[in-house]
A and B are shown apart, each in its own frame.
Chain A
């Protein structure tokens, strides 16, 4: 084995169930949920790593790893099939002293300290697999080094009225953190943690070991590690990030993030040659748009065949929209068939779904309206109705 020290190892937390995505995560881990037509949520963090020059990424998996494991494979689509380093899947394992599931985010990293030590890394970048954003982590690492911090937390400015939904950092003028409050009722800052941390490796190891020895700890970065470090007066800095960032942990935020891709000047631009988002591609033919098709303000992926109407929607690979079908304000993942005369409105449709001819899914988008969700591989009978806000899973 050729050994080359890695300055920084990225650890991507991808084991969460994503229970607030309901039907979309019954068979799939959240990071492997489809996004934007041909991507999976995890593509954004993996692509950010590669584009930032970080070539060693551990992906911590636990919940429903089958699809995720297959998707990541040897890391080739992200150029992470490396002779030394690259992307490695890190599931829970049986050790000398017994076996344990990952009890929390901190415990997952604790159990894989050997992986980090193997590369003799000076820094550890902790990432979540459920955020959509484009970020140059190397700039954050430069910031971390320039401040001489033990821990740097990426933060984004959020509107004050939404601040109570996030972990909020209160900082001094030099961005050093003096207070961290998880979902505060009365926030005194608008700097929300993005769940992206850089630690000095030795400091992190010390805290993870101490945390593991505390039987009352819930082994979580936000609840335990960060507060403990602050309490001990470690050097902690907030790295301000500006740009598009979205936690897609809920049905409505996942839908919104997809809609942010639409239009000629989208909030999130995927046609950015300087920061490409890589994905594992399928060998599909180009999309075919038939004579009777009407397409407005939509993103459509290869392999699709469109004979009906598609408006304000994102369609994944290999979706067929038959003649007379009407798709509006919806996200359709891939390999779905929307039958003749069927209607799909304000919905998220998972992979492999068949909507029978004349069936109706979802309702009008508007104030108080809820998104209908159809889980993977469900067949909706011809003429059937799926109410607005319904949640169907097998």
Chain B
């Protein structure tokens, strides 16, 4: 049983405009040293998938830089490996691909060449807004056994305890796991079954679906294909019960990040045997804790120099925290520089932000104070 992967790097960009102004959802930094695509890529690589197409749309410079040749995921392969699939416009008028796609389905039409050339039996699709460590070979196995056309990985969550996006995909399945309803929205209470947008289908089915959609001029994968053929096709769910985070807004980014300060989330995401989360190597030195530093309940990447106090925070690679500075409940992205005697609470700094000596910044967990890339305070 062989499978290839297809990752959508830009879908959901709009849910977190602060962090995607200059990058794709796939290259949004997360968890100290990762980018969101690392989780989708690692899940695939750890499940034996070694041919992966990454669909990009715009803003993908940071993504190209992150992926490089793919060697950090062992995807610099002669056969297979990682393929970036940028938008594709032909020189001919009125051809099927004479405009840059706007939807998942159109993106797949643009990537039809990649999909059709795969020889693998199955295609696993994944977006980049979902963070989990899932054994996809189990999903593929279940998909093959059930004979379904499409298997959607779902996750049960308590709507009141989870920050959901406005357009959350919700799936209702019967007791045998067959999908009977598919809606989009933002439920406010109760246990809901969320579609993680991780899907498995037969490659032949996907190829045929794309060809059919092109012929009919369909544009939406969920509205025009899935919803319309719920009764005819065999759509099933695979319930994932591990730790899961979905980033739908800056507030949920903050919440999903802070969950990593719990043992259970860290073990579920990083502590899975034979399923490491792989990312680009940056060659940072070990982190330096200087005389007078005090640090509690924090996740700290390498290459940092900590001279002040850090509590309940996520500190990315190469961050400097000066003497007498107190950082609490904050997320400091790569190479943030915080001078001395500053105070930060519920702050998210993007890359290369400079906070000068003595600055006092505070947000709230429901509305973290965000400083854009390269900003200086």
Contact = CB atoms under 8 A, between A and B. Distances in A.
* B and A form one assembly: yes
Given A264-B288, A264-B307, A300-B287, A289 B297 contact: yes
Interface string A295-333: 111111110000000100011000000000000000000
Interface in A235-280: 262-264, 266, 270-271, 276-279
A283 interface: yes
B299 A286 contact: yes
Contacts of A288: 261, 266, 298-300
Interface residues of B, number: 35
A68 interface: no
Nearest to B315: A286
A290 B298 CA distance: 7
Interface string B205-237: 000000000000000000000000000000000
A38 interface: yes
Contact of A285 (B31, B283, B295): B31
A295 B299 contact: no
A295 B281 contact: no
A264 B322 CA distance: 11
B37 interface: no
B364 interface: no
B362 interface: no
Contacts of A281: 281, 283
B266 A285 contact: yes
Contacts of B303: 271
B355 interface: no
A352 interface: no
B71 interface: yes
A274 to B, nearest CB: 13
A287 B290 contact: no
A286 B300 contact: yes
A38 B298 contact: no
Given A77-B281, A289-B297, A36 B290 contact: no
B279 A38 contact: no
Interface string A329-371: 0000000000000000000000000000000000000000000
Nearest to A317: B286
Nearest to B278: A283
Contact of B289 (A271, A277, A297, A302): A297
A298 B302 CA distance: 13
Contacts of A287: 287, 299-302
B277 interface: yes
Nearest to B282: A281
Contacts, number: 106
Contact of B296 (A36, A262, A271, A293): A293
A381 interface: no
B293 interface: yes
A37 B286 contact: yes
Nearest to B293: A295
Contacts of A266: 288
A76 interface: yes
Contacts of B300: 286-289, 300
A314 B288 CA distance: 9
Nearest to B73: A283
Nearest to A294: B294
B305 interface: yes
Contact of B286 (A264, A296, A314): A314
A13 B321 CA distance: 41
Contact of B295 (A278, A289, A301): A289
Contacts of B297: 289-291
Given A286-B33, A286-B299, A300 B286 contact: yes
B32 to A, nearest CB: 3
Contact of A38 (B261, B289, B302): B302
Interface in B112-166: none
A263 B286 contact: no
Interface string B265-278: 01001100000111
A310 B301 CA distance: 17
Contacts of A298: 288-289
B281 A293 contact: no
Contacts of B287: 287, 299-301
B286 A286 contact: no
A335 B76 CA distance: 28
Interface of A: 36-38, 76-77, 262-264, 266, 270-271, 276-279, 281, 283-291, 293-302, 310, 314-315
Please list the 10 inter-chain residue pairs (A to B) with the smallest Cβ-Cβ separation, ordered nearest first.
A286-B32, A270-B285, A37-B286, A285-B270, A301-B286, A286-B301, A283-B276, A299-B286, A295-B289, A264-B290
Given A38-B302, A277-B283, A281-B281, 12 more contacts: A36-B285, A76-B71, A263-B290, A270-B285, A283-B277, A285-B270, A286-B31, A293-B295, A296-B289, A298-B288, A299-B289, A302-B301
